[in-house]
Amino acid sequence: MSMLCRVRPELAAFRAYASARRSGFEARIRLDANECPWDRHEDGDDIDAGLNRYPSPQPQDLRARLAKLYDVDPRRLWLGRGSDEAIDLLLRAFCRAGRDNVVALDPTFGMYRIGAQLQGAEYRALALSADDDFAFDADRLLALTDADTKLVIVCSPNNPTGALYHDARIEQLAAQLAGRALLVVDEAYIEFAGVASATALIDRHDNIAVLRTLSKVHALAGARVGALIAREEIADLIGRISAPYPLPSPSVRAALGAVLDEVALARTQKRIATLLIERARVADALAASLLVRKVWPSAGNFLLVRFADARDAFARLLDAGILVRDFSAQSGLTGCLRITVGRPDENDALLDACAAPSPPTASSLGERAGVRGRGSNESQRLAHSESPPPRLALSTGFAGGEGKAAEPNP
């Protein structure tokens, strides 16, 4: 049974806006889209070249390259503005306002709840326990679903906890939700986890959709490029209801530079290896700090840390020119800060601040609206990167297993 039977009835046969670039025609002279006929700079400035023309709705060269990187059929791939746009469009495609519901975990990425609220869908969340390292039971999650559940969302590695759920539970959920709900697996941080993607499960389960992004390991958060991977009919539907031109030309060029160039891909692999080493180093050091109560295991590029006094720790770090994310107001995360793993020199500054015995000196947090980082220690960075990193897969097919993050040997 196709999952199209579960989309909003009025959208099942929805016809996309017939933009000029959807026509498929190519010509030397384009007079079809009311564009400006001149480039911004007639001298052919590379940065602005071609910006007078609308981009392709789905740039085929980037789509083909990402399909190869993720080892999927290009027809199962839809590209948009980060993972956020795919989340929003899935909610709009499947959920009827005031009737349908979405099921997810808590805590998790906050945009799932916000997107559901904007769509008028009920949001149901399974509360996870910090004392149990945020583990979840698939049967308890399924117990929250009913006939009006359209999406079940699992972020793995989970943000902000770092917990990894890539194991038999994913296929168990897909099997028990068959014909009822789409299982959305958000893999924004999977490259840091050392496990295979859930995309291979799509061959066996037509109700799985996977979210990927270039924002993290490929250093393109500012370009806003993400991907939805699902059965062809779902990818096609999302393309039909999306904006005519989701990806700006500069973002496409930046993305191609990151995934076409073998030198860039090798650099990405090396950076992943460095961040994994740094993640372990920072976690061990923070766990030994007198300011810290607990550091949770993480499969992402961040650590969730419970401090004895989170407000004091936040202010202490801000005084040192370091900004972290305060999650202490969220249910179950009292005293918790989420700390991104930075460059070795940035992590050194973080650890120095956490080891400092003196309290922060800022009279108020409001005085510190602008944050400047400390200088870099190039020799230490090179020392951390001196040995060749292990080869880490940027994308592979799902292979089950225990779902533990693979750490390289320092």
Compare 60 and 360 and report the one with higher pLDDT: 60
Give the Å distances, CA to CA, from 77 to 156, 201, 212: 19, 15, 10
- Rounded to two decimals, what is the model's pTM? 0.86
Over residues 207-230, the pLDDT tens digits come to 999 999 999 999 999 999 999 999
Residue 41 — very low, low, confident or very high, per pLDDT cuts 50/70/90?
Answer: confident
Residue 358 — very low, low, confident or very high, per pLDDT cuts 50/70/90?
Answer: low
Over residues 130-173, the pLDDT tens digits come to 999 999 999 999 999 999 999 999 999 999 999 999 999 999 99
* pLDDT for 368 beyond 80: no
Give the pLDDT mean for 300-325: 97
The domains of the chain, with CATH numbers, are 3-19+54-260 (3.40.640.10), 264-385 (3.90.1150.10)
Compare 259 and 359 and report the one with higher pLDDT: 259
Give the pLDDT mean for 40-52: 74
Over residues 289-298, the pLDDT tens digits come to 999 999 999 9
Cβ neighbours of 191 (radius 10 Å): 26
- Determine contact, residues 171/384, Cβ cutoff 8 Å: no
Backbone angles phi, psi at 206, to 5 degrees: -75, 0
State residue 49's pLDDT score.
Answer: 82
Give the Å distances, CA to CA, from 398 to 216, 230, 269, 286, 393: 20, 14, 20, 33, 12
* DSSP code, position 248: -
* pLDDT for 385 beyond 90: no
* pLDDT for 376 beyond 50: no
Bridge-partner residues for 105, per DSSP? Answer: 126
Per-chain mean pLDDT for the chain? 88
State residue 279's pLDDT score.
Answer: 98
Return the percentage of the chain with pLDDT > 70, whole number.
Answer: 85
Residue 361 — very low, low, confident or very high, per pLDDT cuts 50/70/90?
Answer: low
Report how far Cα 343 is from the mean position of its chain's Cα atoms: 20
Give the pLDDT mean for 106-121: 98
State residue 126's pLDDT score.
Answer: 98
Residue 21 — very low, low, confident or very high, per pLDDT cuts 50/70/90?
Answer: confident
Largest CA distance in the chain: 69
* DSSP code, position 163: -
Residue 257 — very low, low, confident or very high, per pLDDT cuts 50/70/90?
Answer: very high
- Determine contact, residues 94/101, Cβ cutoff 8 Å: no
* pLDDT for 375 beyond 60: no
